Amino acid sequence: MATRKTVQLSHGGGGKEMNQLITEMFFKAFNNPILASQEDAAKLNMCGHIAFTTDSFTVSPLFFAGGDIGKLAVAGTVNDLAMMAAQPEYLSCSFIIEEGFALDDLNTIVNSMAEELHKSGARIVCGDTKVVPKGCADGLFINTSGVGRILNPDISAKNLQIDDAIIVSRDIGRHGAAILMARDGLTLESSLHSDCDTLWPVVEQLLAANIKIHAMRDATRGGISAVLNEWAVASNVGISVDETTIPVCDEVKGLCELFGFEPYDLANEGTFLLSVPKDIAHGAIEVMQRYGHCEQAAIIGHVTTKQPGKVILNTPWGSSRYLDLPQGELLPRIC
């Protein structure tokens, strides 16, 4: 029986083994002239307004339906840039790898990252690798930072306007539900998979169509509840949302009923919210559906003068309640 090759402490020691790992796996997957120069810092050529973001990823399990930690790390950072209307250009990537981690799994994750990069045209131009003793990390942690050129500097959480329409790009809660199923080993008959995906292509189409976007944000940890509450506070406005208009797939509804969760609080990794003038909202949705593969994009609410700083959820039964920020640790290790 062949011995399964794993990461050893020597892979982080700065010697021959580390050089082989970086050259034969990372450089091969992320190949570009800036990275290949192997300088201590990447030389970047940029002008105008620049967006810069960073994030660390510690998802458990590392592989899940619809993605893995590598895809998540690239999409997550690219999406943070996209939500600021910044064209993703350069990423850094750092790996913290636990001794004994399977090299085949690491290679799968790295190739997943390379594939996701192609969707936005961004390039990994610098990085770092650390190997820690067994038991000092949960398999693999990844940090990615991103730099992009801002194409529209007016998009901000503080820019919501009264009577703006609130749009969601697709059905919600898929990532949190998929992670829950994978982590708890649920074997329900379901095709549920994470929405993990790069959002720059659809954002690029909205910008090209000159859609006037006041605010835009991906609904990651805390789901759409967190985004809507952050917007309401930042812009000092009220937001009214209609429950019946929020797309939720049957699998997510079922898991929420089983565990007592609300889909509005569940994490997403390829779903975003927009605030746009109500008279162009349907035009924005048409662009998203036709060119951005957002077939389920929908208007779910509007901005109001009532109860600034609060989000009101209108139920199908004619009642209303506050949609509050999620509390407690709902789903640990979702990103």
225 shares a domain with 96: no
Q: Please give the radius of gyration of the chain, using alpha carbons only, rounded to the nearest integer.
A: 21
pLDDT digits (tens, 9 = 90+) for 117-174: 999 999 999 999 999 999 999 999 999 999 999 999 999 999 999 999 999 999 999 9
The total of other beta-carbon atoms located within 10 Å of residue 290's CB is: 12
14 & 130 share domain: yes
- Number of folded domains in the chain? 2
Residue-wise pLDDT for 64-110, tens only, equals: 999 999 999 999 999 999 999 999 999 999 999 999 999 999 999 99
Q: What is the mean pLDDT of the chain?
A: 94
Question: Predicted confidence band at 272 (pLDDT cuts at 50, 70, 90)?
Answer: very high
The whole domain housing 89 covers 9-150
Return the percentage of the chain with pLDDT > 90, whole number: 86
Of the candidates 127, 150, 173, which is a domain's last residue? 150
Pair 137, 170 in one domain: no
pLDDT higher than threshold 50 for residue 209? yes
pTM score, whole prediction: 0.94
The verdict on 133 and 217 lying in the same domain is no
- CATH number for the domain spanning 103: value is 3.30.1330.10
Answer yes or no: do 13 and 143 share one domain.
yes
- Please give the distance of CA 138 from its chain centroid, rounded to a whole number: 21
Structure tokens at 242: 């209609």
Distances (CA, A) of 279 to 159, 235, 275: 17, 20, 12
**Average pLDDT, integer, range 227-254:** 97
List C-alpha distances in Å: 22 to 18, 27, 125, 136, 273: 6, 6, 13, 21, 38
**Residue showing tokens 């605030």:** 275
Looking at the structure, do residues 13 and 86 belong to the same domain, yes or no?
A: yes
**Cβ-contact 59, 93 below 8 angstroms:** no
User: Is the peptide bond prior to 133 cis by the omega test (within 30 degrees of 0)?
Assistant: no
Strand-pairing partners, residue 137, are none
Q: Is the pLDDT of residue 270 over 90?
A: yes
Distance of alpha carbon 60 from alpha carbon 335, whole angstroms = 8
Same domain for 170 and 51, yes or no, is no
Of 85, 119, 150, which residue sits at a domain end? 150
- How long a stretch of residues is the chain? 335
